[in-house]
Amino acid sequence: MEGKSSAGDIITFLGTGGARIMVATQILASGGLWLNLSGTEILLDPGPGCIVQSTKRKLGGDKLSAIILSHRHLDHSADVNIMVEAMTQGGFKRRGWLFAPADALETEPVIFSYLKDYLEGIEVLQEGKSYSVGNISLATPIRHIHPVETYGMVFTTTEHTFAYIADSRYFDGLCHNYGSELLIINVVFLEPRPTIDHLSVADAKHIITELKPKVAILTHFGMSMWRAKPWEIAQRLSQETGVRVLAARDGMRFDLSQLDNLEEAD
């Protein structure tokens, strides 16, 4: 205990696996990120297994204020229906918000229509907008290049800022819109695969070098990343970029108060 009175900001990784084969095999879990920010609990990208990963860590869905989907792909949204039920105590309590891009909600919605009535409301994520949940604000500065409508986010809590670069092909906008103390970045590929809209290690290195956060956390690993030992890649990137780079682990809790005594890289 550090004796601080504030509620603090903690991110729990309910999974670090990404893309189809990894998620289908569950070698790494795929439950998304559970944010506890100044006492406001938010679930980000509840992929397959989120309900299992969260309950086994005693994270209660009924504590959530919002569920956010960066995009509709299965590894980011599969458990959204059960998590809406958990957030609303089976629909007995109308509460909580869902944030998602329009294409996750329109022609083929990822959420069942009967569950929508359980929510306080649904907010459609759009490029260049910002939103609030309790005392937290989040912005979706730029649409990503990905087969479906996708946004990353910048969160501002009472004490910290952090950014989440969700799935995307590399483009320069990723280096200009996610300035923050902590950068979480979805790195599916070890080597660049130009025909597929995901980031590789080389892309991540470039983005981290440009954005210079205090800490960067790699996650959402495909098979090639996993075989290459993400923690070794993170160590190498730390040396090459001068930024402290970590590889997320399933179940890892990152306390943002760790950022308070770090200077940003030169």
Distance CA 12, CA 27 (A): 18
C-beta of 73 vs 205, nearer to Zn ion: 73
Return d(Cα 162, Cα 215) in angstroms, integer.
10
Count interface residues toward Zn ion (CB under 5 A): 2
**Residue 172's CB: how many other CB atoms inside 10 A?**
10
CB of 137 to Zn ion, least distance (A): 25
Strand order of the β-sheet with 129-133 is: 129-133, 136-140, 153-156, 161-165, 182-186, 215-219, 244-247
Q: Which helix (H) or strand (E) holds 40?
A: strand 40-44
Residues 213-232 that bind Zn ion (CB under 5 A): none
Question: Torsion angle of alpha carbons 140, 259, 248, 178, nearest 10°?
Answer: 20
Query: Which of these segments, 26-34, 58-66, 130-138, 161-169, binds Zn ion (CB under 5 A)?
Result: 161-169
Q: Is 106 helix (H, G, I), strand (E, B) or coil?
A: coil
Alpha-carbon gap, residue 198 to 145, rounded angstroms: 9
- Pick 86 or 218: Cβ nearer Zn ion: 218
CB of 236 to Zn ion, least distance (A): 25
Shortest Cβ 73–Zn ion spacing (Å): 4
Nearer to Zn ion, 79 or 167 (CB): 167
Cβ-proximal residue to Zn ion, closest one: 73
Mapped onto helix, strand or coil, the DSSP state of residue 114 is: helix
**Measured from the CB atom, is 188 or 259 closer to Zn ion?**
188
Nearest approach in angstroms of CB 263 to Zn ion is 34
* Least distance from Zn ion to the Cβ atom of residue 146, Å: 6
Pairing of strands 129-133, 97-101: unpaired
* Closest approach of Zn ion to the CB of residue 169, in Å: 11
Q: Residue 45 CB, nearest distance to Zn ion (Å)? A: 9
Residue (71 or 244) nearer to Zn ion, CB:
71
Segment interacting with Zn ion, rule: CB under 5 A, options 152-160, 167-175, 179-187, 257-265: 167-175
DSSP code at position 243: S
9 or 167: CB nearest Zn ion: 167
Nearest to Zn ion of 36, 168 (CB atom): 168
**Contact indicator for 12, 41 with CB cutoff of 8 Å:** no
Query: Counting Cβ atoms within 10 Å, is residue 5 exposed (0-12), middle (13-18) or buried (19+)?
Result: exposed
Closest C-alpha to 64, from 7, 119, 4, 112: 119
Among 41, 45, 79, 167, binds Zn ion (CB under 5 A): 167
Q: Please, which of residues 40-79 interact with Zn ion by CB under 5 A?
A: 73
Q: Which residues bind Zn ion (CB under 5 A)?
A: 73, 167
